[in-house]
Amino acid sequence: MPKASARHILVETEEKCSELKQDIINGASFEDVAKQSQCPSGAQGGDLGNFGQGQMVPEFDQVVFNEALNVVHGPIKTQFGYHLLEITERSE
């Protein structure tokens, strides 16, 4: 089963998510921006650790197991809100 490591930032609105993505593009560190995340992982820089395909919501899986590594993806809408997602590692 494919596995991956990723980090994310969760906020309530697409607008806020887009603003935070722009902050990162402009040079802010993902870890610092993650402190604004509504997920407890924000305290660890948004780190979600290592997980297998199917362990996260489908919207996450779609990005994590198909998109480029070390790039900030998003806003991604789930039932929890809007996420920025960065895949840090992936194995088959």
Radius of gyration of the chain (CA): 12
Query: What is the tens place of the pLDDT at every residue in 30-70?
Result: 999 999 999 999 999 999 999 999 999 999 999 999 999 99
Query: Is 3.10.50.40 the CATH number for 3-91?
Result: yes
Residues 35, 45: Cα–Cα separation, whole Å: 7
pTM above 0.75, yes or no: yes
Find tokens 């998109």 and name the residue: 67
Q: Where in the chain are the domains? A: 3-91
Helix (H) or strand (E) holding 73: strand 72-78
Q: What is the structure's pLDDT at 92?
A: 85
Mean pLDDT of 73-77: 98
